[in-house]
A and B are shown apart, each in its own frame.
Chain A
Amino acid sequence: MIELKKNGLRISSPELDRRAGFTINFQRTLRIPDDDNTYPLPPGLGSFPLRHVDDFAERVPEHWRRHGGLLLPMYQSEALWVAFGEDAGFAEWGDIFWSGYGESAGWPYAVKLAAGKINAVTGLPWQDGLVGTPQDYLVVPGQPWLDGFCIEKGSIRQFVAASLGSGATVEEQLTGEAQTGGLQIVAYPMKAERFQKILRERRAREARVRSWSVGSSVHESVHEPSGVYSVSSSYEQGLAAGGRMKQDIKVDPHGVDAWDQRYPSRCFVHLANSLAWRGITDQAPPTAPRTAADYERAGLPWFDYYSDGPAVEGASCLAGVKSVAELDAENGSALLPENQSVVPGKVIELGPGSKLKPGQVREGRF
């Protein structure tokens, strides 16, 4: 089951266990430059707003109503990352978890994400159900976030909005058609007996735990948009491949049989461009995003996440997809404005595999 709470999704499996659940939200972020460098993680700058398609049934196209699900506003070429968090009942979603020292108590889920019905991990066309080899899903807790398409082990290309029909979306490049767009999600809980076994094993060990809590709340405000982003004639968007970023997708330590595939939680997130959003919802979309250069000038930090455990191999078909900058160079288009390279000055290290003290900052490097 999926509920919309505070611009986030709360996924739960009441048929299985009332404690099972986790949250997803979509973070606004910087578009990292699309050049030869592999960048560290850009920050989250607040959640994208989310609305039920059904609340605007008369204003959305018929095929959106058929899909059901939600809508979310993105400016053309704006970037996005997907944040996975713990479900703490009614608490503010604010926290992104990972299982580091000791383990999170959260009920594990296997999550598949696709853009235009192309799986973001394997580049293969959508299918319901999980595939173990090649692993076509990620595991939460464990995977704190996903920033893009997995092009090789340890790197992704950033999720960047492009209008459906521009040819830039990964869907169009791999299928030759501009059919679907948007983002698709399905999540499967861990089988109850498997999770209970894991809990029993944990309790049997003596635990020394270090826990960090980085407390804050993210407040979202809605301003009039400004900025350099162009508006496309097609209101509907999909995701294209932007700059390269260092990111792993963790190998599932439990195996594909650990997941209860009887109870999928599934939804379609439509990506409306800013004009479409305004027309449909009568609300202004969030401010146009800043560039990485602005961010760096403001002296704000980037992030580097060191996971423990092996990472999945990337998908060669995704590696073969042309990034937006490459398409611009070929076609003489300007889908990606303001793409100058940046050297991240301040990088905060996170994650259970990091050798620095938590939150310690190091100099940026590629």
Chain B
Amino acid sequence: MEFGPWIRVVRERKTEQAKQAATDPGDLAGAVEAPMLGEQVVRYLADEPDSRPAPRVGAYKRVVGSSSQVEARPPAVRSFSLRQVAARIGVEPSYLSRVERGKEPPPSEEKIKALAVELDLDADVLLAMAGKVSSELKQVIMDRPEMFGQLLRELRDLPDHAVLRLVREVRDGDW
């Protein structure tokens, strides 16, 4: 799907979700944020000790979602109307409407990243749909063009699952 129409689809989907969440009375979860605790009690016997891997026991959650649930009144529904989304990312609604209809080319990298946050989409994917690569990624490649050129070409045809996970460690220094 093209960039503009995709933005519209996602925006409308989020509006739907927000409406549904708001009409569910028993649910503390509020708008489009974390669903509340669900709970299942499962009891079973392991007849042969080695027949199944040792079960993971007891994942209790002491997490009740997000800070926005803590309102004195029921949480306000977050609107994903054209007007609201445009305001939150800092563009005119008429402009965003033209972008969605494909009448304007996609906006700047900064605005696309803002849209990604708003609509809970992956920024790199959204930028790619808009025919762009984030300037951060560009810089990474430009710093070592030969290495990254080779690396990307080699990886280009590998299926997702075959690309070994690259591990980035948290560096420990001197303290």
Contact = CB atoms under 8 A, between A and B. Distances in A.
A133 B148 CA distance: 51
A294 B72 CA distance: 6
Contacts, number: 214
Interface string B61-87: 111111111111000000000000000
A196 interface: no
Contacts of A99: 57-58
B125 interface: no
A153 B62 CA distance: 22
Contact of B35 (A9, A86, A88, A216): A216
B62 A350 contact: yes
A263 to B, nearest CB: 13
A72 to B, nearest CB: 12
Contacts of A100: 57-58
B60 A212 contact: yes
Contacts of B42: 210-213
Contact of B59 (A4, A97, A219): A97
Nearest to B28: A300
Contacts of A220: 66
B60 A86 contact: no
Q: Which of A4, A211, A223 has the most CB of B within 10 A?
A: A211
B54 A2 contact: no
Interface string B154-175: 0000000000000111111111
A199 B42 CA distance: 23
Contact of B46 (A27, A68, A207, A358): A207
A180 B44 CA distance: 50
Interface residues of A, number: 85
Interface string B92-127: 000000000000000000000000010010000000
Contact of A3 (B54, B71, B169): B169
Interface residues of B, number: 48
Contact of A295 (B41, B53, B59, B70): B70
A203 interface: yes
Contact of B66 (A41, A46, A70, A204): A46
Interface stretch (A236-244, A285-293, A315-323, A331-339): A285-293
Contacts of B57: 97, 99-104, 209-211
B170 A2 contact: yes
A307 B118 CA distance: 41
A94 interface: yes
Contacts of A221: 33, 66, 68
B175 A300 contact: no
A221 B31 CA distance: 12
B172 A68 contact: yes
A281 to B, nearest CB: 12
Contacts of B70: 45, 290, 294-295, 298, 300
Nearest to A47: B63
Given A69-B171, A83-B63, A300-B69, 4 more contacts: A68-B173, A96-B63, A102-B57, A298-B71
25 contacts: A2-B172, A4-B170, A43-B62, A43-B64, A45-B66, A45-B67, A53-B171, A67-B175, A69-B171, A86-B59, A96-B60, A102-B55, A104-B58, A144-B62, A145-B62, A202-B54, A209-B44, A210-B57, A216-B35, A219-B65, A290-B70, A294-B72, A298-B69, A298-B70, A350-B60
